[in-house]
Amino acid sequence: MTRYFRFLVALALVVSAGTVFAQGRLQAIKDRGELRCGVNANLPGFGVPDASGAYTGFDIDFCKAIAAAVFGDASKVVYRPLTAGERPTALQSGEIDVLIRNTTRTSIRETDWGANFAPTTYYDGQGFMVRKDSGINSLRDFEGRSICVQSGTTTETNLGTTLAGLGVQFTPVIFETAPVLIAAYDDGQCDGWTTDGSGLVSYQTQLRVPSDHKILPVIISKEPLGPAVLHGDDQWYDVVSWTVYALFDAEEYGVTQANVDDMLVSAADPQVKRLLGAPGSESYVEAFGLSADAFYQAIKAVGNYGEIFERNLGSGSVFGLERGINAQYYDGGLIYGYPFN
């Protein structure tokens, strides 16, 4: 690329980002008629296209919820598949409106990436998988062994710092994407591999003989996963954040995909009426720049937080993940919706 061409590209990015900023991303999305969501294309349970090319998963449902809140139509999403390493540029260039791709909230990502993280939707932690017959039962057993790890992730840095701290000498075998990494691990190219606990459970189902492998009972990090937008647009950040809170609140108030229509007309609880923008209730939702029934639309499209969890990752899925710390606060977990008032 010539220096002049690079200058033109940079100028175009600045001008287009400026246009979005000047009028606000929410308005730009409405004018465009579609939400651009940066997602995972390779992580069953979180984000993956099915045989017909339709994306499904826990993260995908949050893209749909935001589209439903903005347009009253969950199908108005364009999914942009991203590798781990592509995430910051996709966000910074303005190419995507929101990143919802099992992305950990960290200080570096808020500062260097310029990401503003919405509420955490899945509290995770980094773990390890090994073959049952490997003789590896703890991190110290990786001494002199190899570990597959994906680049552009928190996983890679945590691995290096944690094992260095323990004085364990190991060989990292680095891959850019998960499918290649999993195949290499399955072929015996590494003695173990490491990623978010949810990712281990998801990918274990894709190994040739899943039951030949085990997840070590060790977690080396905090991996709070959630949606992120670019710094600098408070209105859009609020829309994304409060769509997440609305889905948390819906579970707390007992509003489900199945009963939301009834709730809209007959709920007596003022909290529910405010959440749904029920006729006759004061509108707290329009203040976001959305229609009064925006969060009714989101719940109607994907259900409440608990329904999203169970359908994609929990009892309604092949993964059977427990809610654990992703339970509601009143059940001893960390999920806590904020009030609409």
Task: By CB under 6 A, name the binding residues for ligand GSH.
Answer: 40, 42-43, 83-84, 102-104, 150, 153-155, 177-178, 195-196, 199, 223, 225
Contact between residue 339 and residue 270 where contact means Cβ atoms under 8 Å apart: no
Provide the token pair at 112. Answer: 């260097």
Task: Give least dist CB 174 to ligand GSH, A.
Answer: 12
Q: Which is nearer to ligand GSH, 39 or 275 (CB)?
A: 39
Q: Which is nearer to ligand GSH, 152 or 333 (CB)?
A: 152
Task: Give least dist CB 265 to ligand GSH, A.
Answer: 41
Task: Give least dist CB 177 to ligand GSH, A.
Answer: 4
Q: Is 225 helix (H, G, I), strand (E, B) or coil?
A: strand
DSSP code at position 232:
T
Q: Which is nearer to ligand GSH, 73 or 86 (CB)?
A: 86
Task: Give least dist CB 196 to ligand GSH, A.
Answer: 5
**Sheet strands (E) in the chain:** 35-39, 48-49, 55-56, 77-81, 98-99, 115-117, 122-124, 126-131, 146-150, 171-175, 192-196, 213-215, 223-225, 228-230
Q: How many CB atoms lie within 10 A of CB 263?
A: 23
Max Cα separation, the chain?
68
- Of 237, 196, 211, give the one whose Cα is nearest residue 84: 196
Q: Which is nearer to ligand GSH, 85 or 332 (CB)?
A: 85
Q: Which is nearer to ligand GSH, 155 or 243 (CB)?
A: 155
Helical pair 305-312 and 58-71, crossing angle rounded to 10 deg: 140
Task: Give least dist CB 17 to ligand GSH, A.
Answer: 23
Q: Which is nearer to ligand GSH, 43 or 139 (CB)?
A: 43
Q: How far apart are CA 201 and CA 320, in angstroms?
A: 9
Task: Give least dist CB 154 to ligand GSH, A.
Answer: 4
Cβ neighbours of residue 197 closer than 8 Å, sequence gap 6 or more: 124, 125, 126, 127, 215, 219, 223
Q: Which is nearer to ligand GSH, 163 or 200 (CB)?
A: 200
Task: Give least dist CB 102 to ligand GSH, A.
Answer: 5
- Give the CB-nearest residue to ligand GSH: 199
